[in-house]
Structure 1
Amino acid sequence: MMKTENYCFVCGKQNPKGLKAVFSQGNGKSYTEIILEPEYQGYSGIIHGGIIAALLDEACVYAANSLGFNTVTAELKIRFKNPVAPEEKIVVEAKANHLKSKLIEAKAWVKDKQNKIVAEAEGKLIIKEKIE
C-alpha cells in the first residue's frame, strides 16, 4: 500500500501550511467544500491558480482511488474560467472512470458560491496498486 504520513499539502491534517481539505469519496466520485484563506492568493483578492490546480488534482485522485486503486497523476489539463476570492466557500468535485488496466480518467471542477465554474480539469491517473 502507498504510504502516507498525513502531511499532504491539500488534505494532510498534520501539515501546518496545508489546505486541510476533507474529501468524501465513493463510487468514482469525490467532493469537498473549502474556504481558502488570504494566504493562498496570487493577485490581491484572487486565489492563486496553483492552489486551485492542487485542489483539482486532489479531487481527481480521491475519485480514482474510490474505485479501489492507489493512483498517481500522470497528466492534468486545467482550464481556468473565473477568479475566486479568499474567504469564499468553493465546492470541488470529481468523477473518475477506469479505462484500461493501468489507467483511470477523471474530470474535476471547482464552483463558487454562485455555482459558477471557477476551473475545470481533465486528468489521467496511473494505477500503482489495488487497495486491499
Structure 2
Amino acid sequence: MGIKVPWSVLPDYRCFGCSPHNPAGLGLTFTPNPEGVQARFRLDRGFESYPGVVHGGLVGVICDETMGNLIVLDRRRTAFTVSLRTRFVAPLLVDRDYVCVARLHDGPEAPLIHASAEVVDAEGDMCATATATYQPFTLQDVRDQLTLGDDEVALLTQALTANGA
C-alpha cells in the first residue's frame, strides 16, 4: 500500500503525476525506501514518443513527482520546482516495470531544497537520473495561484502537520 500524500485530503485533486482522480494521469503511488521514497511504474503506448519508447518528458515528470512528494512527506513542506535536470542513460520502454527512487540532500532548514532521483529497470540497471532544486512555500502565500479556498488551505495545512500523513 502506498503512502498517503497530504493532497489526498482534497476530494478532487487532479495532479497529473499522483492523483487517482485524473484519468489521463500517471497514478503514481509512493512507498518508503531506505534512501527516501520510491514510485514503481509501468507506462503503456499512450505515453510513448518513438514507437515502444516512453516519452522522455514523462520520465522527468516521474522524477519530479517523486522528489517533490518526498519533500512534502519528509519535510512537511510544499515546494515549487525551480530547476530540473534529467539525464538519460538508456531508453525506457513501454510496458516494462521501473522504479524511481528519490532522496534529499539538504538539512531541514535549507532555504532551497536539493533532491535527486534515479530510475532503474526490473534488473536494477540505471535508465535515468535527475537532480532538482525546490523553493519551499506556504499554502497561504500561494493560495491564489493554487486556487485554494480557506477550507482547502485548512485541510492541507492540517494534513501537512499531521504525523504520518
**TM-score, normalised with respect to structure 2:** 0.72
Task: Name the CA distance, whole Å, in 2 between partners of 1:61 and 1:92.
Answer: 12
SS state at 1:15 partner: coil
Match of 1:111? 120
SS state at 2:135 partner: strand
Match of 1:83? 91
Query: Is residue 25 of structure 2 the alignment partner of residue 21 of structure 1?
Result: no
Match of 1:121? 130
Unaligned runs of 5+ in 2: 1-5, 139-156
Match of 1:32? 39
Task: Name the CA distance, whole Å, in 2 between partners of 1:118 and 1:27.
Answer: 20
**Percent identity between the two aligned chains:** 23
Task: Name the CA distance, whole Å, in 2 between partners of 1:35 and 1:28.
Answer: 22
Alpha-carbon distance, 1:97 to partner: 3.0
Matched letter for residue 126 of structure 2: I
Cα deviations across residues 63-86 of structure 1 (Å, max 9, x unaligned)? 222222111111111101101111
Cα deviations across residues 105-131 of structure 1 (Å, max 9, x unaligned)? 101011111211111011101111383
Write 1 or 2 for the structure with the bigger share of strand.
1
Task: Name the CA distance, whole Å, in 1 between partners of 2:33 and 2:106.
Answer: 14
Q: How many residues align?
A: 132
SS state at 1:56 partner: helix
**Residues 104 and 26 (structure 1), Cα distance of their counterparts in 2 relative to 1, 3 Å cut:** farther
Post-superposition, which runs of at least 4 consecutive aligned residues in structure 1 deviate over 6 A?
Answer: none
Query: Is residue 61 of structure 2 the alignment partner of residue 54 of structure 1?
Result: yes
Match of 1:98? 106
Alpha-carbon distance, 1:27 to partner: 8.5
User: Which of the residues 9, 13, 26 maps onto 1:6?
Assistant: 13
Write 1 or 2 for the structure with the bigger share of helix.
2
Query: Is residue 55 of structure 2 the alignment partner of residue 69 of structure 1?
Result: no
**Residues 62 and 27 (structure 1), Cα distance of their counterparts in 2 relative to 1, 3 Å cut:** farther
The answer to whether the Cα contact below 8 Å between 1:29 and 1:64 also exists between their aligned partners in 2 is no
Task: Name the CA distance, whole Å, in 2 between partners of 1:75 and 1:24.
Answer: 24
Matched letter for residue 134 of structure 2: L
Match of 2:148? none
The answer to whether the Cα contact below 8 Å between 2:33 and 2:101 also exists between their aligned partners in 1 is no
RMSD: 2.3
